[in-house]
Copies of this chain bind each other. A is one copy, B any other.
Amino acid sequence: MSEAKFDELRRRLAEISDLGKTMALLAWDQQVMMPARGAAIRAEQLATVGRIAHQKFTAPEVGKLLEELRDWSEQQEYDSFEASLVRVASRDWEKASKVPADLRAEASRAAALAQPVWVQARKDNDFASFLPVLRQNLDLCKRYIECFEVGDEPYDIVLDDYERDMKTAEVRRIFDYLKEHQAPLVKEVAGQAQVEKRSKTFNLEAQKVFELEIAREFGFTDDAWRLDPTVHPFASGTGVTDIRITTRYFADRLEGLFGTMHEFGHGLYEHQIDPALERSSLARGVSLGMHESQSRMWENLVGRSMPFWRRFFPRAQELFGDALASHDVDSWYREVNAVEPSLIRVEADEATYNLHIILRFELEQAMLADEFPLEQLPEEWNRRMWEYLGIEVPSDTEGVLQDVHWSGGSVGYFPTYALGNLISAQIWERIVADLPDLYDGFEQGDFAPLRDWLREHLHRHGRKFTPAETLERVVGTRQIDPEPYVRYLREKLAGIYGIPA
């Protein structure tokens, strides 16, 4: 009886999962393949599939099934597929069904309309023209928050959308630690001349070859992955054996390579989810923070490490000729790890990145609380840039207008980037303890032990557990701890800049 009901629930959720993956394909294609003039009808297709998926998920029948299955599912093993699916879907259903369809539609429409306004405003360095749509997005965000019972802080509601159960107060505590311990590190090394950057040119075709070679050593296979160029890199896919990552190429730097390694990390997380979870609510990464821990791990802890470059620098020299002729592996390692406070978040180095996030986290809360008139946002932005990073912002284009998130109505998303950095170091300490030969393996091009460790301890679980439960399974504690990251940074920068370890 309950088994039959569970099968019915599972069937319904499988249908919704299919629609979700279909939307992922519509969106991937839009960014990667679609001819420009396909945009208008693509928006309709995305809206239609999204609306149907939402209607099907929030249908009263689903709520009823979840209700009826609660007792039965609690008698199953906690980590069984059955118990996990009912538990996770119930939580999703509670949250989704509290938001009226009209508000959701209005927010989608507002975001779609705000997007081109933001693009133009950024181009024109014209914050005033962005202000009305920002205001509207914030109003909608407040109305969204009002759909829920606010506990300690309103910001908790939106944060929870991206990082389930995370509290604003907890993030604040973590970020305060970073302000105290990471920010001074940046000041210690900034402006030191240990690292010298010369302008160079990296052949674009050679970049493509190099990135694919590295991705393949990491675990990219042609039968289950794609790598394509786009304007903004991202990871997507339609299932655990159809993973799609994108990248971009610049002639004067290897940013694309680090982007590819970053997206590979996201892709690998989805690829290594237990296939038995496919077509259910459980078949994706557990939270944005945990996802970002995986991308940052492959980009930074692997891709900016000395053993990695001992493996790949000779090949880079072969492929890029002149560009690296005056480098050896040591000077190149210093170059890819150079610390320099800069204006743009997505180009920030490991040491300054989190500071960009702290600024946004504080501004988002202030905007939701109407702490200042929205017209003042650029000043508030610029003041913090000076305070946290010590640099002046010459234009709103390079300041408050640089990120896409607020134009899309995404508030509460930014903190997960920094949390991901922190988690990556937390996990890394555990991995290195378990696999003492890990870095030696990198020098031989052997990344399988890392991949397998991640599958076993993290990836395969998908969304079966909460983020905190998942973290506990991986590192033994439910708390995100900023210390390992700061420790990792200090050690690395000690080697490069000679600051005290």
Q: Note all chain B residues with C-beta closer than 8 A to A226.
A: 33, 35
B-binding segment of A36-44, A81-89, A323-331: A36-44
Once A29-B25, A35-B226 are accepted as A-B contacts, the answer to whether A18 and B279 lie under 8 Å apart by CB is no
Q: Give the number of chain A interface residues (Cβ < 8 Å).
A: 36
Cβ distance A105 to chain B, nearest Cβ, rounded Å: 13
Whether a CB of chain B sits under 8 angstroms from the CB of A196 is no
Whether a CB of chain B sits under 8 angstroms from the CB of A22 is yes
Whether a CB of chain B sits under 8 angstroms from the CB of A52 is yes
Whether A45 pairs with B33 at a CB distance below 8 angstroms is no
Q: Note all chain B residues with C-beta closer than 8 A to A38.
A: 224, 238-239, 241-242
Whether a CB of chain B sits under 8 angstroms from the CB of A222 is yes
Cβ distance A231 to chain B, nearest Cβ, rounded Å: 16
Whether a CB of chain B sits under 8 angstroms from the CB of A370 is no
Taking CB atoms and an 8 Å cut-off, the chain A residues in 219-259 that contact chain B are 222-226, 238-239, 241-243
Whether A22 pairs with B26 at a CB distance below 8 angstroms is yes
Q: Looking across the interface, which residue of chain B has its beta carbon closest to that of A47?
A: B18
Whether a CB of chain B sits under 8 angstroms from the CB of A34 is yes
Whether B41 pairs with A278 at a CB distance below 8 angstroms is yes
A19, A222, A278 — which one has the most chain B CB atoms within 10 A of its CB? Answer: A19
Q: Looking across the interface, which residue of chain B has its beta carbon closest to that of A226?
A: B35
Whether B242 pairs with A19 at a CB distance below 8 angstroms is no
Alpha-carbon distance between A48 and B22 when the two chains are bound, in angstroms: 10
Once A41-B238, A238-B42, A241-B41 are accepted as A-B contacts, the answer to whether A223 and B48 lie under 8 Å apart by CB is no
Whether a CB of chain B sits under 8 angstroms from the CB of A15 is yes
Whether a CB of chain B sits under 8 angstroms from the CB of A187 is no
Whether a CB of chain B sits under 8 angstroms from the CB of A21 is yes
Whether B22 pairs with A222 at a CB distance below 8 angstroms is no
Once A42-B242, A44-B279, A242-B41 are accepted as A-B contacts, the answer to whether A222 and B35 lie under 8 Å apart by CB is yes
* Identical copies in the complex: 2
Taking CB atoms and an 8 Å cut-off, the chain A residues in 398-455 that contact chain B are none
Cβ distance A157 to chain B, nearest Cβ, rounded Å: 31
Whether a CB of chain B sits under 8 angstroms from the CB of A96 is no
Cβ distance A85 to chain B, nearest Cβ, rounded Å: 17
A186-210 interface mask toward B, CB cutoff 8 Å, 1 = contact, 0 = none? 0000000000000000000000000
Q: Note all chain B residues with C-beta closer than 8 A to A243.
A: 35
A1-36 interface mask toward B, CB cutoff 8 Å, 1 = contact, 0 = none? 000000000000011001101100110010001111
Once A22-B22, A22-B49, A25-B26 are accepted as A-B contacts, the answer to whether A14 and B44 lie under 8 Å apart by CB is yes
Cβ distance A32 to chain B, nearest Cβ, rounded Å: 9
Q: Note all chain B residues with C-beta closer than 8 A to A40.
A: 239, 241
Contact of A238 among B21, B22, B45, B224 (CB under 8 A): B45
Q: Looking across the interface, which residue of chain B has its beta carbon closest to that of A278?
A: B41
Q: Note all chain B residues with C-beta closer than 8 A to A222.
A: 35
Alpha-carbon distance between A225 and B35 when the two chains are bound, in angstroms: 6
Q: Note all chain B residues with C-beta closer than 8 A to A49.
A: 18-19, 22, 49
Alpha-carbon distance between A14 and B41 when the two chains are bound, in angstroms: 11
Once A25-B26, A41-B241, A241-B35 are accepted as A-B contacts, the answer to whether A18 and B48 lie under 8 Å apart by CB is yes
A14, A29, A224, A242 — which one has the most chain B CB atoms within 10 A of its CB? Answer: A242
- The 6 tightest CB contacts between A and B, nearest first, are A38-B242, A37-B241, A41-B239, A18-B48, A36-B223, A37-B224
20 examples of A-B residue contacts, CB within 8 angstroms? A14-B48, A15-B48, A18-B47, A22-B48, A29-B29, A34-B242, A35-B222, A35-B223, A35-B241, A35-B243, A37-B241, A38-B239, A38-B242, A41-B239, A41-B241, A41-B278, A42-B238, A45-B238, A49-B49, A52-B52
